[in-house]
Amino acid sequence: MTGETYLTAEEVTKTYGDMTAVSEVSLDIPSDAVTGFIGPNGSGKTTLLRMLLGVERPTSGTVSYDGPAAERQLGYLPQRPTFRPGFSVRETAGFYADLVDDDPDRLLERVGLEEVASRPVSGLSGGMTRLLGIAQALAGDPPIVMLDEPASGLDPAMSRLIFDIVESIADAGRAVVLCSHELPLVEETADRLVVLESGHLVRTGSVAALQEQTGGPLHETFTALLDQDRATIAAPEGTQS
Amino acid sequence: MIDGTRFWTVFVREVRSAVRTRTYLALGLVTAIVLFGLAHAGGGPAGGYVPTVVDTLVAVEVLVPTLAFAVGYRAIADPAVRGELDILDTYPLSTWSYVGGVYAGRALLLLAIVVVPLLALGVNVATTAGPETTVFASHRGVDSPFLFIRFIALTVLYALSSLTIAFLLSALAGSRGRALVLGLAGLLVITVGGDLAVFAGLDTGVTTSTLGGALAMTPAGAYRGLVFDQVLYVAVPGRSAFVPTWVAVLSLLFWWGLTFVGATLATDAA
């Protein structure tokens, strides 16, 4: 890891009417590392990710890109990628590659889809659709790649494959940010964790550092951190430690 | 603002998608059947170009926006629902290039559906009408293929304006269901709502002297007025336009430009 910061969020908040989805979150996204966002459903992971991407404007706070100059700064895999029907895998990759003067065959090889390049996108399994989404996210070699639930709903073998690809993306020098509920895989893959609860940043640090605080595997760490946070929120003013 | 290479990438995908969608071929066939059916039922092709325009004008006035909405009502709503717009936000692709590319591709499709049957009808007139229609008009009162070409050119402008309105509503929809509802509502407003609003205005300020100008402010009224002025009345000595020509032309260009800008801004905000 070079330790360079590629993306910085300062006090970002997102509200929808009376509901606060993300509250005053500040964090850095380092290069050469996988940063995992974990938290229960509705904790604000996806909203935070979308604000870091720039597709959602924060209600307050700022997000700044500090990475190297690039034609495309951020790659993005949405939670449920869907591609325009009526096109083959190669044509779909070709469309995105053409927007950044990239090679669609290189992108498909990168995620292992070269064998199904002529298959229509409507004939892809959920896992293969996700892989095509990752191929698209890599078009133009963006320094930062953000993946929202890249393995949700997939079988263990496909989940494993996707996390292996995620790891290799970071090994190639990029900053990778992912939201996931696949805690064992996140534990193996992520270099750094950001724990969110009810829109608040509960804790951030390396997997090992967080485990040291609570002991046990990540899912126990995760539960312990959330319990601590809930206790802090519930405690009367002046009694919080 | 518009990047040529990326605009072209988006445009080519739209055209490919259109070519592969058989529904559009069916739309073209239905359009041809309706136009030929109406023209022959009225005896237009045997009478000449202007009688053919008279036979088909009302149908074209309704058919063109209907086809424009069929082609465009999901043009922006679909990629928004699919999450494609969010993905494209991470590419160096401006919203102008994207909306422009999608619009150009679908406009080409719409014009193929509308113009090819009209051209075929023109050829049909050329081969079946009497000898008085085979000359090019050099003065008012003479039927001519030029008048039919004018009719097609005005129809193209009407189609392009209708399509941008469909794009604007699609960009505002946010879901496929709302896109359908807004599309149907927009279609009703274009085909009958505009005229009804103008006639309702007769009680509240629109006078007989301003009626023509008011009718020209709506896309359908402007198109109808221009066809009467530039096509039908040219062949009928002594008749003059019921809408001011320049107001009608500006009105169609205004609807075209304004709703395209609106569609792009709405896509940017989606």
- Condensed to tens digits (0 to 9), the pLDDT of residues A133-179 reads 999 999 999 999 999 988 888 888 888 888 888 888 888 778 999 99
Best mutation target, B12, B87, B97, B267, to test chain A (most A CBs within 10 A): B87
Report CA Rg, chain B: 20
Question: From residue B217, how far is each of A140, A143, B73, B246 by CA, in Å?
Answer: 47, 51, 23, 11
pLDDT at A237 over 60: no
Between these two residues, B237 and B232, which has the higher pLDDT value? Answer: B232
Q: Is B241 helix (H, G, I), strand (E, B) or coil?
A: coil
| Torsion A51-A54-A57-A60 (CA) sign | positive
Mean pLDDT calculated for residue range A6-27: 91
Answer yes or no: do B86 and A142 touch at CB < 8 A.
Answer: no
**Spatial CA neighbour of A52 closest among A41, A66, A39, A65:** A65
Alpha helix (H) residue ranges in B129-241: 145-173, 176-188, 194-200, 211-216, 219-227
Structure confidence at residue A209 (pLDDT): 81
pLDDT at A224 over 70: no
Partners of A65 on chain B (C-beta within 8 Å) are: none
Answer yes or no: do A87 and B83 touch at CB < 8 A.
Answer: no
Structure confidence at residue A231 (pLDDT): 62
Return the DSSP state at A192. Answer: E
Angle (deg, nearest 10), helices B145-173 and B219-227: 180
**A with B: how many residue pairs have Cβ under 8 Å apart?**
63
Structure confidence at residue A151 (pLDDT): 85
Q: How far apart are the C-alpha atoms of B24 and B12, rounded to whole Å?
A: 17
Answer yes or no: do B9 and A84 touch at CB < 8 A.
Answer: no
Fold designation for A10-68+143-241: Rossmann fold (3.40.50)
Partners of A139 on chain B (C-beta within 8 Å) are: 91
Q: How far apart are the C-alpha atoms of A13 and A61, rounded to whole Å?
A: 6
Lowest-pLDDT choice from A5-14, A52-61, A228-237 = A228-237
Structure confidence at residue B159 (pLDDT): 95
Q: How far apart are the C-alpha atoms of A38 and B259, rounded to whole Å?
A: 43
Q: Which of residues 86-115 of A touch B (CB under 8 A)?
A: 86-87, 91, 95-96, 98-100
What ranges make up the beta strands (E) of chain A?
Answer: 5-16, 19-30, 34-38, 60-65, 74-77, 144-148, 175-179, 192-197, 200-205
pLDDT at A219 over 70: no
pLDDT at B66 over 70: yes
Between these two residues, B1 and A148, which has the higher pLDDT value? Answer: A148
**Spatial CA neighbour of B147 closest among B129, B173, B165:** B129
Mean pLDDT calculated for residue range A35-47: 88
pLDDT at A108 over 80: yes
State how beta strands A34-38 and A192-197 pair. Answer: parallel
CB of B115 closer than 8 Å to CB of B157: no
Answer yes or no: do A81 and B83 touch at CB < 8 A.
Answer: yes
* Residue reference for tokens 């126990």: A220
Answer yes or no: do A87 and B6 touch at CB < 8 A.
Answer: no
Of B21, B82, B90, Cβ closest to residue A53: B90
Digit-coded pLDDT (tens) for B124-176? 888 886 655 555 454 455 678 888 999 999 999 999 999 999 999 999 987 88
Which tokens go with B44? 């237009």
Structure confidence at residue B138 (pLDDT): 45
Question: From residue A123, how far is each of A85, A155, B14 by CA, in Å?
Answer: 10, 18, 21
Best mutation target, B23, B25, B91, B109, to test chain A (most A CBs within 10 A): B91
Chain A residue with CA closest to B88: the answer is A96
Structure confidence at residue B142 (pLDDT): 66
What's chain B's average pLDDT? 86
Mean pLDDT calculated for residue range B95-99: 94
CB of B97 closer than 8 Å to CB of B7: yes
pLDDT at A54 over 50: yes
Digit-coded pLDDT (tens) for B197-233? 777 777 776 666 677 777 778 888 899 889 988 888 8
Question: From residue B201, how far is each of A50, A66, B140, B210, B211 by CA, in Å?
Answer: 48, 59, 34, 11, 9
CB of B241 closer than 8 Å to CB of B225: yes
Structure confidence at residue A240 (pLDDT): 43
Mean pLDDT calculated for residue range A174-202: 86
Banded model confidence at residue B245, pLDDT cuts 50, 70, 90: confident
Answer yes or no: do B92 and A72 touch at CB < 8 A.
Answer: yes
| Residues of B contacting chain A (CB within 8 angstroms) | 5-6, 9, 13, 16-17, 20-21, 79, 82-84, 86-93
Domain residue ranges of chain B, discontinuous segments joined by +: 4-269
Give the global pTM: 0.86
Is the CB of A122 inside 8 Å of chain B's CB atoms? no
How many of the other CB atoms lie within 10 Å of CB of B104?
17
Mean pLDDT calculated for residue range A202-208: 84
pLDDT at B256 over 80: yes
Between these two residues, A5 and B243, which has the higher pLDDT value? Answer: A5
Answer yes or no: do B90 and A142 touch at CB < 8 A.
Answer: yes
Partners of B21 on chain A (C-beta within 8 Å) are: 86
Domain residue ranges of chain A, discontinuous segments joined by +: 10-68+143-241, 80-142
Report CA Rg, chain A: 18
**Spatial CA neighbour of A47 closest among A25, A78, A21:** A21
Which tokens go with A196? 């969110």
Partners of B11 on chain A (C-beta within 8 Å) are: none
